[in-house]
Chain A
Amino acid sequence: MKINSRKIALISCSGEDLPEGTVSRVATRRILEQRDDTVTICLPLFLAGGQGERDFAKENPCITVDGCQKMCAAVGVKKYGGVTPRSTIVISEVAETLKCPKPTSKSKITSDDEKLVQNVMKIIDEKIRTVKEGKD
C-alpha cells in the first residue's frame, strides 16, 4: 500500500548522554526542515503527554532514529503507540557499517561528525522513500 496522505513521523532519541544522540537529533532535525512530508514529536512527550501524544505513533508511519542499541525511540513507539516502527536507524551501527569515526562530542557536531550526519540524512531519505512506496 502506498502512503501518500499521511506524513512520515521521524522520531529521534536525541540522547543527551551520548554523542550519537546529538548526531541523531541534528540529522533528524535537518531532514524535518528539508521535507514537508515529515513530522515529529518530542520522544519524552510519550510519557509526559496525554493520549493524543501517544496516538501520534499510531496515526503516522514512524521511522525512528536512535543513537545506541538501547533504541529508546523504537522502544517508545512500541510501548506507548502500540505499533512497530516502519523502519529503524541506529547511529552506532551506521557509523560502524560505514566506517565513520565514532562521534566524540555531545555538545556539537565536529567536522568529523559531519560526514556521519550527512550519511544518516541520506539513510533517512532512503527510508522515507521506501516507506512511502510501501516497500517496508
Chain B
Amino acid sequence: MSEKRSRHIIIPCSGIGKAVGTVARRATYIVTGEKLPRQTETTCLPLLTIEDKEAAEKVRENPCITIDGCIAQCAKKNVEHHKGNLRVAINVLDVLRENPGLKPGTVLDIGPDGEKLASRIAEKIVKIISEKE
C-alpha cells in the first residue's frame, strides 16, 4: 500500500509594518529552503486572504505551522478561516520574550539579532516536525 506523505506548510504573516514580520518570513525560508526542504513548503498567505480555492485546499490537506509577528495573528486566522489543518501557531513575540536579547533591527534589515531570532524559530519548527516523524 502506498502512503501519501503530506508536507508541512509553513505560513508566515510577512507583516510589512514591523521587523517581526520579516523575522517570521525569514524563519520560514530557513525551514523550507535550508533545514527541511523536502518535508516543508510555504504558500502565499494573500492567496488565503482572497479565498483562492487551491491554496485553501492545500492548508486543509496538509499540516500547517503559522508564524505571526504581532497580536493580530493574520497567518493563524487566515488558516483557521479556511478550516485548515493548523498544527502549531507560533508568535514571534513569544520567542522574543524567551530571547529578550535578540531584538530585530528594521523591516528591511533585521540584523544579526533578528537573524538569530529567526533561527530560534526555525529550530522550534524543525523540532515540532521531527517529533511527529
Contact = CB atoms under 8 A, between A and B. Distances in A.
Interface in B51-99: 51-52, 72-75, 77-78, 81
B65 to A, nearest CB: 13
B108 A16 contact: no
Given A13-B44, A16-B25, A21-B44, A29 B50 contact: no
Interface residues of B, number: 34
B16 A25 contact: yes
Listed residue (A26, A40, A44, A46) with the most chain B CB atoms within 10 angstroms of its CB: A44
A60 interface: no
Given A16-B42, A18-B44, A21-B44, A79 B50 contact: yes
Interface residues of A, number: 34
Interface in A18-65: 18, 21, 25-26, 28-30, 32-33, 40-49
B13 interface: yes
Contacts of A79: 50-51
Given A48-B77, A107-B33, A43 B72 contact: no
Contacts of B29: 106-107
Nearest to A67: B44
B72 A45 contact: yes
B43 interface: yes
Contact of B47 (A12, A29, A70, A106): A70
Contacts of B74: 42, 44-45, 47-49
Interface string B1-42: 000000000011111110001000110110001000000011
B74 to A, nearest CB: 4
A13 B46 contact: yes
Given A17-B44, A49-B72, A72-B44, A43 B33 contact: no
B13 A44 contact: yes
Top 9 A-B pairs, shortest CB-CB distance: A72-B46, A44-B74, A15-B44, A48-B77, A107-B29, A48-B74, A14-B14, A75-B50, A47-B49
Interface of A: 12-18, 21, 25-26, 28-30, 32-33, 40-49, 67, 70, 72-73, 75-76, 79, 106-107
